Amino acid sequence: MHFFRERLPAGTICSHGDFLGFPQHRPDFQRQLRQYQFVSGHFGYIDVADLLQDSYSFTFLRDPVDRVLSLYKFCMHPDMQQRFAVARAARDLGLEGFLNSKLPEVCEMLDNQQTWQFARMYWREDREALAHLSERELLEMAQAHLGEFSHTGLTETFDEDFARILRDLGVTETVPRARQFQTAEPVTREQLQPATLALLQERVGLDYSLLDFVRARRNQP
């Protein structure tokens, strides 16, 4: 995001929270996105599906447990707690309580979030809309939708993936070494009780299957 922000005119970029004020009606939402040259954010597949065919699109998957622990750390920011119920839950429950919680606002952010995001989106209404699917069908839907992206990267191979994206776009610059938003004192899985870690791994089991799918696809000749 920062790489492209430094190289494109300011009015041509929509990044992360910029889209929160866009119209809720999906055709109007997508029409507004089309006004930009570069778009990034925590979108669900349903939000960008109509944009993928005529755009160069890329996305990244992250180790599911690492993602949840990073989310918990992010929820400790006071501005997050003012804006989002899940952040207030993290504050009130503490780490172990948060990872064991069945509160709706926690479940939609923890339970196989990446799989839901690529199948449709992970909010409660999205989970209800696809509640008729089995876990296998949900995973297969997410896998199929991933195939529509020009490139799927992994945080564990970020430099390699970023270099591939730049090559695909015809950008001859090298991948910058500087990193943005590195977390100070991140929460690690070593801080968890074994039972809590086991439960969390179960809650993100489909996400690990999705990650394995992408890794296997990358290794194909």
Give the DSSP letter string of 97-143: HHHH---HHHHHHHTTHHHHHHHS--SHHHHHHTTTS-HHHHHHHHH
Check: CB of residue 196 under 8 Å from CB of residue 100: yes
DSSP structural state of residue 9 = -
Q: Are residues 194 and 158 in the same domain?
A: yes
| Residue carrying the six token digits 């750390």 | 73
- In this structure, are 35 and 58 located in the same domain? no
Do 33 and 49 fall into the same domain? no
Are 9 and 50 within one domain?
no
Cβ atoms of 53 and 47 closer than 8 Å: no
Helix (H) or strand (E) holding 197: helix 194-203
pLDDT at 148 (0 to 100):
97
Kindly list the distances between the CA atom of residue 44 and the CA atoms of 123, 147, 174, in Å, as whole numbers in the listed order. Answer: 9, 15, 30
Same structural domain for residues 34 and 60?
no
Other beta carbons less than 10 A from residue 72's beta carbon:
22
Same domain for 140 and 69: yes
Domains of the chain: total: 2
The reported pLDDT for the residue numbered 73 is 95
The three-state (H, E, C) secondary structure of 46-61, written as one string = HHHHHHCCCCCCEEEE
Average pLDDT for residues 59-79, to the nearest whole number? Answer: 96
pLDDT level of residue 188 (50, 70, 90 thresholds): very high
Find all residues with CB under 8 Å of 101, minimum gap 6, and list them. Answer: 89, 93, 107
Question: pLDDT tens digits, residue range 117-140?
Answer: 999 999 999 999 999 999 999 999
Q: Is the pLDDT of residue 210 over 80?
A: yes
Lowest mean pLDDT among 16-20, 34-38, 123-127: 16-20
Question: Do 37 and 102 belong together in one domain?
Answer: no
Per-residue pLDDT for 165 more than 90? yes
Q: Give the pLDDT band of residue 184 (cuts 50, 70, 90).
A: confident
Residue 21's contacts (CB-CB under 8 Å, 6 or more residues apart) are none
Question: What's the confidence (pLDDT) of residue 153?
Answer: 96
Do 32 and 91 have their domain in common?
Answer: no
Structure confidence at residue 143 (pLDDT): 98
Same domain, 9 and 36: yes
Domain match, 13 and 118 both:
no
Which of 139, 145, 181, 175 has the alpha carbon at shortest distance from 160? 175
Domain that holds residue 25: 1-41
- Whether residues 78 and 110 fall in one domain: yes
What mean pLDDT do residues 49-67 have?
95
- Structure token digits, residue 193: 């009780």
Q: How many Å apart are CA 112 and CA 211, to the nearest integer?
A: 11
Shared domain check, 181 and 211:
yes
How many residues are there in the chain? 221
Of residues 93 and 220, more confidently modeled: 93
Average the pLDDT over 66-90 and give the result.
Answer: 95
